[in-house]
Chains A and B, each alone.
Chain A
Amino acid sequence: MKKSSIIKNDFLKSLPYLLPPLILYTIFYFYPLAMNIYLSFTRWNLTKRPPTWVGPENYFRMFSDPVFQKALLNTLIFVVSVVSGSLLLGLLLAISVNRQTKLASITRSLMLIPYILPDIAAASMWLIIFGPGPSGYANHILSLLGLPTYSWFYDPNLALPMVILYSIWKNVGFCALVIYAGLRSIPKDYIDAARVDGASDWQIYFKIIIPLLRPIMIFSLASIIMMSWFVFSSVYILTKGGPGTATMMLGLLVYLEAFEKGRAGYAAAIAVFSTLLVIGIIVLQMRWYRGYEKY
């Protein structure tokens, strides 16, 4: 039998298996994606009146819109800070709990609590703790200690660091758990062999454990980048992008443009741009990872 007919035969045989997911993907993924790209070239206010084709106007507008620029900058700062903070603290936490004691076991369970808490509950709790003026717990304790109080989420200079801090607190448990799983999968023989060769604890961590954790770190990195790039609910609850535009993020801007201002076309353009940007970052990251795979 010819090679091409074998391929054709295989394809026909696999079609019934491929078709259901393909149809579902087309309806629920490719079609909305294509619609979003189409909408990004239109002006539409989400109502019955049909979208008007405006060409690349929304994309040109994006780059002259100071709020978009601020949101892009804020998102980049947010992603870099949350990713590095969550991974670093997650690594330290994972190493700390990587032992067979009762306390370590309790800590492993506790560290996941912020991650599994819904944003509405966790963010509301933060709003109460870091409430403005004398009514907030944090400010109350600071004032009892004779220290100055802060406006936390309402101060244009503090709001973004506070949102970053919240997100690190929220994600660190997830990173720690993933890294902990990676730590558990490292064969003990490698470490024992290093010890026999006279390696110190630090050398074992930096020369053996951390390099072997790289694949798991890359996975955590990609997950946290995606989670933080499209951050919405926590920022919406904590600051609504304010004060001013101090905590405006791309995800929130898309929502506000579409569902508050009724500019669905412009919101779609921002969504397309920001998706392409994050895809670019993930591709670069994968290439970087492939470079290390040969390790």
Chain B
Amino acid sequence: MNQNLITVLAVVLTAIIVGAAVYVLAPAKTVTETATVTKTVTTTVTQTQTSTVTPLPVACPVLPEPSEPITLKFWKWQSLTIVDNQIQRVIDMWNQLHPNVKIEFTVMGELSTVEFTMKVEQMTDAGQGPDIVMIDELSLADLAYDGYLAELPDYLQEIVKKNIVEPFDQITYFWGPDGVKRMYGFPGLRGASVKVLIVNDYMLQEIGYPTNWCPKDWNELIDVAKRLTKYDDQGNLVRSGLFVRVSGHIGGIFDKFGPIFLAAGGRILWCENGQWKTDVNSNIGRTVLQLYYDVLYTHHIYDPGFPGDTAAFAQELVAMLLPREPTEVLNALLALNPERFRDPQTGQFKGFHFCPIPPPSQNMSSRTWLDMHVVGVNAYSPPERQQWAFAFLCWVAINKDVKLTLFNEIGMWAPWRDIVNEPPFDQLIFQQILEIAKTGESRVIHPRSGSLFATGGEVLSRIYLKELSIEDGLRELEKALLEAANEVPCVS
């Protein structure tokens, strides 16, 4: 038996070593296929100077420095080192300017959004809550509705309204505990985004398309996606022409469905005569789900077992992403394939572009969702700390250098009027974001949007994977969304 054991172990070890050696020595199949398209690609940078004008800086009220040192607690959800370091730099700048008003920055990367909001609320109840919080807008809506956020003071509301690019101002308004929308949010220190179609220019060139091509409707989108898709001899996908999100985080599944549904003419959720309404169970819903089915099953452009999302786009395993946030893609490109997508000399991004979410037919308009992490100030913080928290936000808002420190170096775009046309945001891709954002609207469709997204995403994942038929799925989606929505009374 001992001899047998040795033999088995020897075979297993040999297999592992041989396997590893084969893997290391043999180049990956997809790399060889994509390596042939490294031709010279010149991306014409067309400067579109938009109507955004740089407003005059507005002064923030001068507060007398406190005699006793105070510390403001700033809690941020989600860890993203590159962003967190920049925020820490800005906080260090503030702490130098105000030695008696120190900001203590804590990143809570390990918590889900619900865990984070729960922690903020429970710690606040215990008298140990943060003074400033930063989280995605869906979760900030929970804090506002539960009464944990202070409305921005008038001077700060004015500054935000004057300085932020429309329609991003929509994302600063949230339902209060009385069901009335007020400005509780300040644009986040992490960059904003808009959900767009992202296209690889090198692959477009391969099939003879211009590098500024954008689909006018879904037929054109599918047609080009089919041409961009590649299979091996056994019919396995080796390059997907179009990635659509069908699995993963359930809230994210709904988040990516939303813009396509809007572009198809849908509304998703609204309040009418004191009742929540949804139009997901409609022909619009059927059309959108058919698009997913066409991509997954009819044309086999993408399958759930193939690499997807931003990482696969950066590795050129996927030609287009529908829909995705440019900021997320830029991060992936810089981390995984910088030499291919960024000119080392000029620092200009290259080899990809952003398009509006195409509507099903040409006579319809594109619509999408905006995306922005938001900062709020705790309503239960003592008045002095609240004032200083707002003063900090005001300092960020009117200080161009601070904003350029936050957004410039990390390639993150933010919708502040005084920086959107400054380098590096004068590049084509950032100007495209600015243009596409005009078709955008806030994702905060309900005071409990986060749980609504998760509920909807779970049903959608079952439809995409054919656990539910389209008809049954749409009925279930409608029921689930209304049930989640009715947790909160609707104020018309």
Contact = CB atoms under 8 A, between A and B. Distances in A.
Interface of A: 43, 45-49, 67, 96, 99, 101, 103-104, 107, 131-135, 137, 140-141, 143-144, 148-152, 154-156, 240, 242-246, 256, 258-263
Contact of B305 (A43, A137, A152, A261): A152
B2 A101 contact: yes
B384 interface: no
B464 interface: yes
A96 B5 contact: yes
Interface in B375-390: none
Contacts of A242: 247-248, 461, 465
Contacts of B109: none
A107 B487 CA distance: 56
B198 interface: no
Contacts of B454: 256, 260-262
B118 A46 contact: yes
A152 B303 CA distance: 12
Given A47-B121, A107-B9, A154-B305, A260 B451 contact: yes
A133 B246 CA distance: 16
Given A143-B29, A242-B461, A260-B112, A135 B2 contact: no
A43 B487 CA distance: 9
B451 A263 contact: yes
Contact of A243 (B5, B23, B112, B465): B465
Give the interface size bracket for B toward A: 35 or more
Contacts of A144: 22, 26
B399 interface: no
Given A132-B308, A141-B22, 19 more contacts: A48-B147, A67-B462, A103-B6, A104-B5, A132-B306, A133-B306, A134-B29, A135-B307, A135-B317, A140-B26, A141-B19, A149-B234, A154-B247, A154-B304, A155-B305, A240-B249, A243-B304, A256-B454, A259-B115
A135 B147 CA distance: 48
B236 interface: yes
A262 B138 CA distance: 13
Given A96-B5, A244-B465, A245-B467, A135 B28 contact: yes
Nearest to B238: A134
A150 to B, nearest CB: 7
B117 interface: yes
A133 B238 contact: yes
B448 interface: yes
A114 B427 CA distance: 49
B169 interface: no
Contacts of B458: 67, 256, 261
B343 interface: no
A240 B248 CA distance: 6
A150 B305 contact: yes
Contact of A133 (B121, B148, B249, B305): B305
Contacts of A261: 451, 454-455, 458, 484
Contacts of B2: 99, 101, 103-104
Contacts of B9: 103, 107
A33 B100 CA distance: 45
A162 to B, nearest CB: 11
Choose among A150, A154, A244 the residue with the greatest number of B CB atoms under 10 Å from its CB: A244
Nearest to B142: A47
A45 B451 contact: yes
A140 B304 contact: no
A34 B26 CA distance: 59
Nearest to A151: B305
A253 to B, nearest CB: 10
Interface string B243-261: 0001111110000000000
9 contacts: A47-B118, A99-B2, A103-B9, A133-B305, A134-B236, A156-B465, A244-B465, A260-B114, A262-B454
A57 to B, nearest CB: 12
A173 to B, nearest CB: 15
B156 to A, nearest CB: 25
Interface in B452-466: 454-455, 458, 461-462, 464-466
B30 interface: yes
B237 interface: yes
B234 A140 contact: no
List the 6 closest A-B pairs by CB distance, nearest first.
A151-B305, A244-B465, A154-B305, A262-B451, A260-B454, A242-B247
B462 A46 contact: no
Contacts of A150: 305
B462 A244 contact: yes
B250 A256 contact: yes
Contact of A245 (B125, B234, B462): B462
Contacts of B464: 244
B448 A135 contact: no
Contacts of B114: 46, 258-260, 262
Contacts of A148: 234, 236
B146 interface: yes
A244 B467 contact: yes
A103 B7 CA distance: 12
B65 to A, nearest CB: 34
B250 A260 contact: yes
Nearest to B315: A135
Contacts of B207: none
Nearest to B460: A244
A136 to B, nearest CB: 9
Interface in B216-256: 232, 234, 236-238, 246-251
B465 A45 contact: no
B307 A132 contact: yes
B451 A133 contact: no
B461 A96 contact: no
B335 interface: no
Nearest to B31: A134
B19 A260 contact: no
Nearest to B251: A260
Contacts of B185: none
